[in-house]
Structure 1
Amino acid sequence: MTDAKQFYDYHSWANKKIFTHIENLPEETAYQEVKSVFPSVSDVLLHMCRADYIWLNVLSGVAYQEIIDSAGKLQSAQGNMAAIKQHAAELESQYHDFFSRQTDLEQTFTMQHPKLGTLESTYADTILHVVNHGTYHRGNVTAMLRQLDHSGVPTDYMYYLYEKRESKG
């Protein structure tokens, strides 16, 4: 079976594809209001960064309230695609640091949520949640781009595998 680290690498690859694609569209595209889950593409991408930040901190054992209190720092990137992309790059680096420290991703850890309670999970399952969450919202971005008369960009896992194979070839 493919390991969680590879799925995270796919997540990073797919996010980069989205950012690159949006950079090649008219600048206002990222900020145009759309009737969707989020008001704009940039809002979706900021949400994805915020979620990745939160889950990285959960994986790192940071207390819930401390995570929530510190997640607000990402809000300064609102409406600024360059800042959102920078946050995404920093998070990717931080996840790789996490992977270098936590080599046993099948290890169980406990997370606490004030309303949902306690949950035991493996690091791998939590990382798969991060990837799945990103996949869902990259789909939102594609739908929003289509509403704005722009094409999306393929970010399916198989495209990642093909590209990965080509880069080895």
Structure 2
Amino acid sequence: MTDAIQFYDYHTWANKRIFNHIENLPEETAYQEVKSVFPSISDVLLHMCKADYIWLNVLSGVAYQKIIDGVSKFEPAHGDMAAIKQHASELESQYHDFFSRQPDLEQTISMQHPKLGTLESTYAETILHVVNHGTYHRGNVTAMLRQLGHTGAPTDYVYYLYEKKESKG
């Protein structure tokens, strides 16, 4: 497994920990308004799904406007944690399908953005961006949970490594 795929697996592991933690809290917790970067925890998690969708399509070479048009498929999930979790699960499968078709994640790709222009990057660097973006927003979720009087779920990479080691052992 390449480092990029392992980090992506960490990303989905951490997201699942967040979803499972929230499922064990009072249902309204995910939807309560919080003065933060996003109005609610469910809004953060939906944003993360949209971003993961966008970047999967960028990696797949889909045209910018088609990607933007496709993001609207996530709108019915607004305010529905079960639907958001389902989207996250489907995206995980789609990413792994993408990985299975890529023999070289260090391959350079060209990304086109109407305002930012062209960027040359690798599949691996872009995957690491997806992971980093998720880490940032899981931090938002933890801060929001604390504002609402709840603890967060530990999602640091080292916890993933320990859990992975234990499952092999």
* Residue matched to 2:67: 67
1:83 to 2:83 alignment: yes
Q: CA RMSD in A?
A: 0.6
1:97-136 aligned at under 5 Å gives the runs 97-136=97-136
Query: Displacement, 1:103?
Result: 2.2
Structure-to-structure mapping, 1:15-164, within 5 angstroms: 15-164=15-164
SS in 2 for 1:20: helix
Which amino acid counterpart does residue 96 of structure 1 have in structure 2?
Answer: H
Count residues in correspondence: 168
d(CA) in 1 for partners of 2:71, 2:57: 10
Gaps of 5+ in 1: none
Consecutive unaligned residues of structure 2, counting only runs of 5 or more, are: none
3-state DSSP of counterpart to 1:144: helix
Distance in 2 (CA, whole Å) between partners of 1:125 and 1:18 is: 24
TM-score computed with the length of structure 1 as normaliser = 0.99
Amino acid at match of 1:38: F
Which amino acid in 2 is paired with 1:102?
Answer: Q
1:126 alignment partner AA: T
CA–CA distance in 1 between the matches of 2:97 and 2:33?
36
Query: How far 1:133 sits from its partner (Å)?
Result: 0.1
CA distance in 1, matches of 2:52, 2:103: 19
